[in-house]
C-alpha cells in the first residue's frame, strides 16, 4: 500500500465483504470511517478494526439518501483530513419471479445497489478532484456480466453499475491519479443470504465453491497499492465475457433450474429481509452457523443468485474449451 493511501471510507461496512475489508485495512494501520444503516453492526466491526491495529470511526448512513451520503462524505473527509480510497460495498437482493415480487421491492434493490453507489461517487469524486487523487472501488459481482433469472432487479443493478463505472472512467481521463476500480467476485460466503428478500416459497441455500470475504478484502487492499479497472475473483475474466455472450441460453437454463429448485427446496414464507431496515444486532463477516455474530447481515451478494451466475460462467468456460 502506498504510504499516502491510508485514509479509507467504506459504505456497507457492518458485515460481509465490507467488514472483512475494514479489518484488512485496519491491519495495515489505516484510519477508517465505516458507514452503514445499523449502529450495532458498525460498532462491532469498528471494535474489531481497533483491535487489529487501525483507527475506526462510524457513521450511520443510508446510501439511498443522496443528501445523507454527502454529509457522511464531508464528515469523513474532515475526520480523516482527506480520503484516499472509498469502497462502495452496499448491496441487497430479492429472490423470486419478477411478477411475484412487489414492485416496491424491485425499486428498493435498484435504489440501494445502483443509485446508492452513484450517490457515493457523486459525494466523493469532488473530494478526489480537490485533492488531485483518490480511488473509488465499486463492488459489483459476477452478476454484472451474467444475468440470473429470479433476480431481475439485482441483474439490472449490477449491469448498470458496470456501465456507470465505464462512463466515469471516460469522464475522468484528465485526472490520471483518480481511479475507478470494479470488483467482480463470484459467490462469496457472507451473511447476506439471511437478509435477502425471498418470494420463491423455498428456503434459500448456499451453492458450493464459495470465496471467503477475506479473499475479496485482500483484493480491495491490493487496489490501494495498484489500482486497476477490473478485478475478477473466482472465475477467469475471459469466461465471464464468454458467459455474457451466451447469456440468452444461460438465462433460459438457469430459469429452468430455479423453477425446479423452488419446488424441491424446504418451504419458506415470503420476506423482505433487511431491505427496508438494518439488522437488529451485529452481523459479522461470514455466514457461519455457529456464533450469533455471523448469522445475519446485508452484504454484496445474494448467495443463491451469485451461485447461479457461477453456473453460467461455467457454461462460458465450457464454450471456451470447445472454441477452435
Tell me which residues are annotated as active site: 154
Cell of 116: 446508492
Q: d(Cα 35, Cα 38) in Å, to the nearest integer?
A: 9
Q: d(Cα 26, Cα 224) in Å, to the nearest integer?
A: 13
Question: What residues are paired with 85 via a beta bridge?
Answer: 8, 135
Q: d(Cα 66, Cα 241) in Å, to the nearest integer?
A: 33
Encode 69-94: b = buried (16+ Cβ within 10 Å), e = exposed. Answer: bbebbeebbebbebbbbbbbbbbbbb
Look-up: residue for cell 468456460?
317
Nearest Cα neighbor of 83 from 60, 102, 57, 61 is 57
Q: d(Cα 178, Cα 288) in Å, to the nearest integer?
A: 37
Amino acid at each position: 500500500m502506498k504510504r499516502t493511501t491510508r485514509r479509507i471510507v467504506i459504505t456497507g461496512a457492518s458485515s460481509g465483504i465490507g467488514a472483512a475489508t475494514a479489518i484488512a485495512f485496519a491491519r495495515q494501520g489505516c484510519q477508517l470511517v465505516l458507514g452503514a444503516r445499523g449502529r450495532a453492526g458498525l460498532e462491532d466491526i469498528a471494535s474489531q478494526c481497533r483491535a487489529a491495529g487501525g483507527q475506526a470511526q462510524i457513521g450511520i448512513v443510508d446510501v439511498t439518501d443522496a443528501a445523507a451520503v454527502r454529509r457522511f462524505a464531508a464528515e469523513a473527509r474532515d475526520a480523516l483530513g482527506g480520503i484516499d480510497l472509498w469502497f462502495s460495498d452496499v448491496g441487497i437482493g430479492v429472490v423470486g419471479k419478477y411478477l411475484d415480487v412487489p414492485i416496491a421491492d424491485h425499486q428498493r434493490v435498484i435504489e440501494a445497489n445502483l443509485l446508492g453507489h452513484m450517490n457515493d461517487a457523486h459525494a466523493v469524486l469532488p473530494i478526489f478532484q480537490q485533492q488531485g487523487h483518490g480511488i473509488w472501488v465499486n463492488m459489483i459481482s459476477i452478476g454484472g456480466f451474467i444475468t440470473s433469472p429470479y433476480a431481475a432487479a439485482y441483474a439490472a443493478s449490477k449491469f448498470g453499475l458496470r456501465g456507470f463505472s465505464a462512463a466515469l472512467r471516460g469522464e475522468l481521463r484528465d485526472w490520471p491519479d483518480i481511479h475507478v476500480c470494479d470488483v467482480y467476485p463470484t459467490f462469496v460466503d457472507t451473511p447476506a443470504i439471511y437478509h435477502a428478500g425471498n418470494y420463491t416459497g423455498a428456503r434459500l441455500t448456499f451453492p458450493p465453491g464459495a470465496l471467503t470475504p477475506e479473499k475479496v478484502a485482500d483484493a480491495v487492499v491490493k487496489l490501494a497499492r495498484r489500482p486497476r479497472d477490473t478485478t475478477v475473483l473466482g472465475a477467469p475474466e475471459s469466461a465471464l465475457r464468454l458467459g455474457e455472450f451466451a447469456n440468452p441460453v444461460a438465462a433460459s437454463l438457469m430459469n429452468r433450474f430455479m423453477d425446479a429448485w423452488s419446488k424441491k427446496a424446504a418451504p419458506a414464507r415470503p420476506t423482505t429481509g433487511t431491505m427496508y431496515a438494518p439488522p437488529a444486532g451485529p452481523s459479522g463477516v461470514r455466514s457461519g452457523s455457529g456464533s450469533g455474530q455471523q448469522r445475519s447481515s446485508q452484504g454484496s451478494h445474494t448467495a443463491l443468485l451469485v451461485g447461479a451466475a457461477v453456473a453460467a460462467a461455467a457454461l462460458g468456460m465450457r464454450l471456451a474449451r470447445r472454441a477452435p
